[in-house]
A and B are shown apart, each in its own frame.
Chain A
Amino acid sequence: DAKTTQPNSMESNEEEPVHLPCNHSTISGTDYIHWYRQLPSQGPEYVIHGLTSNVNNRMASLAIAEDRKSSTLILHRATLRDAAVYYCILRAYNAGNMLTFGGGTRLMVKP
């Protein structure tokens, strides 16, 4: 399975934008890039996913590099409720559609 690399932790100030990076240099052409976040003692929550083009939804934006070897999850205005562990995951289209979770990035938001 293609792997992802994320920083262990990041800090942000409330109401400022946050850019969470993810490297996936061995990504294959059919791998979708998924982002999930997990608050303490809760199940992960789907955030966004994409294949090649940048994607926007009500929660965040996903910027995908042209060579697809990296991506960035963008939270436009961080709130205290955005403090969570963010997982960047590659989902193979033809491999049972399973998600393989890595360690993720723990985002801390300071008031």
Chain B
Amino acid sequence: DGGITQSPKYLFRKEGQNVTLSCEQNLNHDAMYWYRQDPGQGLRLIYYSQIVNDFQKGDIAEGYSVSREKKESFPLTVTSAQKNPTAFYLCASSITATGGYTFGSGTRLTVV
């Protein structure tokens, strides 16, 4: 079945360490996105990519980095520069037209 896989589901890291969240899709979608969600809040866009080897900053890109070397994969690195990294991270993909997004099940990152 086609879909988006985010791993791991839960992640714990010590403060000051970089951590990379995985996002893989087999939907053949061109566009991929990373969102962050804090408790009781809506989603905020971190980065997005509409095509391989190209990506753009979203509303809250500071302290994060991404790469898009393959169409299927869009990993997100939370760097030590991100001041409040503890959050629920969601990856999504879409055909670059007017269709809906498909979301992964999310990674809950806790930095201690």
Contacts and interface: CB of A to CB of B under 8 A. Distances in A.
Interface of B is mostly: strand
Nearest to B6: A43
Contacts, number: 59
A45 B50 contact: no
A97 B13 CA distance: 33
A20 B35 CA distance: 24
Interface residues of B, number: 29
A58 to B, nearest CB: 14
A97 B56 CA distance: 12
A83 to B, nearest CB: 16
Interface residues of A, number: 23
Interface in B16-35: 31, 33, 35
Contact of A93 (B45, B98, B102): B98
A96 B50 contact: yes
Contact of A32 (B50, B98, B102): B98
A6 to B, nearest CB: 10
B42 A104 contact: yes
Contacts of B41: 103
A101 B35 contact: yes
Interface stretch (B69-77, B79-87, B89-97): B89-97
A44 B88 CA distance: 12
A44 B98 contact: no
A46 B95 CA distance: 13
B104 interface: yes
Interface of B: 6, 31, 33, 35, 41-45, 48, 50, 56, 58, 88, 90, 92, 94, 96-106, 108
Interface of A: 32, 34, 36, 41-46, 49, 51, 87, 91, 93, 96-104
